[in-house]
Structure 1
């Protein structure tokens, strides 16, 4: 099974939304069909603040990754956050998420990206190990904080 990435377009919305719903249910993220569509559809339509990639065959994706873009003075320019990464439970443990995490920087390399960040549950050793294997390191003394508006 391959972790080939396909840049998602509006034509992929119907295939992507069930994956987003599955991820949110598994992660305990409270969301509605409307909020998931409002969060993902603009990215598929070319919204410049991010993009989504299907993992695996576009007709039957086995996962997805959502990237959002920002700007960092510290890193000297364009940076990105892996907002969501999901692989179907039935195909986990085969290196697909690792492959995707290595493919994302290659897919974005031509755009001048300076850094990629992500947020991870400190109590999820499997995710921590996955992200460390992909080259992500925790920043000593820092933690991600949020304030919903």
Structure 2
């Protein structure tokens, strides 16, 4: 995904960020979906706390589906199932940040029941 989107991360920085999640950190989770021998995609979710939403919230940090199997509903099904699992774990909100001009991601969000928060703008600053 990083290569496809032109993100300038290194193998080392990705491994350093991903390893704690794969080792069981409570701050996030990784789902790999598709056949065990040939996965077709993954979702990385991180956890936070929101007074507004009433407790633990989850943010989809990355979602990626192999290009050869896109537009078959795989990503929206994965988001639906992950949402069910998170709800059963008392997570109160699922969030996904997309580029404002990414029509495919916007369509995925609509299909998965994710809607823009009226009047909201996400701001960030690297630390």
- TM-score norm. by structure 1 comes to 0.82
Structure 1: stretches of 5+ with no match in the other structure = 1-22
Which secondary structure state, in structure 1, belongs to the residue aligned with residue 125 of structure 2?
A: coil
Residue in 2 aligned with 1:62? Answer: 40
Q: Distance in 2 between the 1:48 and 1:90 partners?
A: 32
> 2:81 is matched with which residue: 103, 106, 125?
103
The answer for the alignment partner of 1:10 in structure 2 is none
Give 2:67's aligned residue: 89
Aligned to 1:85, the other structure's residue is in SS state: strand
Aligned to 2:23: 45
Moved segments of 4+, more than 4 Å:
none
Query: 1:110 deviation in Å?
Result: 2.1
By relative contact order (CA 8 Å, sep 6+), the higher-ranking structure is 1
Distance in 2 between the 1:52 and 1:103 partners?
Answer: 13
Number of residue-to-residue matches in the alignment: 127
Query: What residue in structure 1 maps to residue 114 of structure 2?
Result: 136
Give the equivalent residue in structure 2 for 1:3.
none
Residue matched to 1:8: none
Please list the CA deviations of residues 24-60 of structure 1 after superposition, one character each: whole Å capped at 9, or x if unmatched: 0111211000011011111010001001000112332
C-alpha distance in structure 2 between counterparts of 1:145 and 1:27, whole Å: 20
Where in structure 2 are there 5+ consecutive unaligned residues?
Answer: none
Q: Which has the higher helix share?
A: 1
Q: C-alpha offsets along residues 112-149 of structure 1, whole Å, 9 cap, x if unaligned?
A: 10001010111111110110111111112112221111
Taking only aligned residues, the RMSD between alpha carbons, in angstroms, comes to 0.9
Q: Which stretch shows the higher mean deviation, 56-65 or 75-84?
A: 56-65
